[in-house]
Structure 1
């Protein structure tokens, strides 16, 4: 069992409730490359200050890079250090690439000898619960962490939804967004419109700005939203389903049967 995968899932699931929690992220060196030999370097970490390397690396288990033709692309020069992971992506074909880390995990609460216990791990490890476990309540979490980069042109092939979990299908291409212009995004849950889905948009540079600068929005009945893009910079989009209720003092957080979470790094370019 890899302990980082449950950590990623739980961190993502907590975004909508606590914008100040440790955040996992993928940060490309650029989102648009115009070159005959196109490469990007991607940093991957979990941090308290967004895009600041201050806590621990994001493990690269489950990392997938998908090219514009749908083929998998092998990351190059992958290294995991003390505070961050990093890897390179060679974009041999023109078009848009999707970099993603997807995980499915289980959170369970139970009682053992009258004491409340928690389990975090993979579905297959549920069989390892103690034989005397009582009042077992299981919640399954699907987490998706992404970023998008393009070489020499943009296209939309990588945005075809998988139909599993919470997904962002950007009607406005995320590598062609400019400050002050309108953008349209669509959120899907299991391939269907995620109506009234709340999401957060947080700009990088919090440590220099002194305030979080979070923007909160919600989709319409079709799972879509059109909004004016903020100032140029790198942003983290986060969303979770269902909306998490605020914890009650002295009470354990209720375990819901299923959670889905999404996060992506996008760049807003200058006008």
Structure 2
């Protein structure tokens, strides 16, 4: 249905309205098919997938089994990565997830029919604005203040002197939240015949092909959903871990078809991440939230 493209340059896929090269938030299990009754995983953000550059500061992760039973795992956060480990209560397939997390907020105003970020207090970089992480969520390296120095001090002084942007009296304003979710699947000893149920909230990939039965040359079929309903026309992009060391890198993108159907044919073994996003202006205007989602899968030979 869709064909992947191979390029000679490393490719990083970005999903941010204000950055040409945003970081990917992901979960990476250390073993997708554990034979012992525990799982260890990392959660981070990165421009080169699976090379952590900023921790996802999340204190609790979830493992969901095929019956929908939830096990909570506590995370330990370092500067560049968060690690978590959990016992597996029984054999079968589990979804590892961050759940839907609020990452930051941004105040927007509508002027002449166009939505624009508000500069100054409440706007980007200001209190309550873009660049302010939600409580308990990671401050990515892009948001971490630089070490003091001549250039940093000059920029700080210039920013302090910059006046706040006046909001026209007739302008509409709204506070937009950025939501993130990262998922992955593991199978302890034997994959379950039934997959863990989807949450049905926000942006998700609902697998049709079992994520623990992915092999090179075969298709991975799935449904893109939003609030539990199939969503067509969403661009999903795929990148492969370790490509910064490869002679050629994997690049693939496509749009979800009618009924939210998506498909990826992995030609080579490896660990891949599928990413997608949805802006609030593309959905319900009364729900001002931007959404990003990632799914990490392992493809066997």
Distance in 1, matches of 2:246 and 2:97, equals 28
In 2: Cα distance, 1:158 partner to 1:59 partner: 28
Q: Displacement of 1:193 after TM fit?
A: 1.1
CA contact (8 A) 1:13 1:143 kept: no
Partner of 1:188, secondary structure, is strand
Change (3 A) 1:52 1:32: same
User: What is the CA-CA distance between 1:196 and the residue it aligns to?
Assistant: 2.0
Whether the 8 Å CA contact 1:236–1:266 is kept in 2: the answer is yes
Q: TM-score, normalised by structure 1?
A: 0.75
- Structure 2 unpaired stretches of 5+: 1-12, 110-117, 136-163
Q: Which entry has the higher C-alpha Rg, 1 or 2? A: 2
Distance change (3 Å), C-alpha of 1:52 and 1:161: same
- Contact preservation (8 Å) 2:66, 2:196: no
Q: Which residue of 1 is the match for residue 254 of structure 2?
A: 217
Aligned position for 2:16 = 14
Q: Aligned to 1:162, what secondary structure does the other structure show? A: coil
The reply to whether residue 183 of structure 1 matches residue 180 of structure 2 is no
Provide, for residues 222-243 of structure 1, a one-character-per-residue CA deviation record: whole Å limited to 9, x for no partner: 1112342231111111001149
The 8 Å contact of residues 38 and 92 in structure 1, kept in 2 or not, is answered as: yes
Match of 1:4 in 2: none
In structure 2, what is the Cα distance between the partners aligned to 1:44 and 1:123? 17
**1:80 aligned partner:** 77
Q: What corresponds to 2:65 in structure 1?
A: 67
Is 1:94 aligned to 2:91, yes or no?
yes
Paired residue total: 238
3-state DSSP of counterpart to 2:123 = strand
Please, what TM-score do these two structures have when normalized by structure 2?
Answer: 0.68
Q: Which residue of 2 aligns with 1:8?
A: none
Q: 1:66 to 1:116 in 2, by over 3 A?
A: closer
Equivalence for 2:39? 40
Q: Deviations over 1:81-114 (max 9, x none)?
A: 232121212212111111111213542136578x
Q: Alpha-carbon deviations, 1:35-63, whole Å to 9, x = none?
A: 3x32221012222221113x222212352
Measure the CA separation in 1 of the matches of 2:278 and 2:270: 27
Q: Secondary structure at the match of 2:263?
A: strand
Gaps of 5+ in 1: 1-10, 125-129, 246-255
* RMSD (Å), alpha carbons: 3.4
Query: In the TM superposition, what whole-angstrom CA distance separates every residue of 1:177-222 from its partner, at most 9, and x where no partner exists?
Result: 0000122111111111111221011000022026652211222111
Q: Cα distance 1:243–1:123, how it changes in 2: closer, same or farther (>3 A)?
A: closer
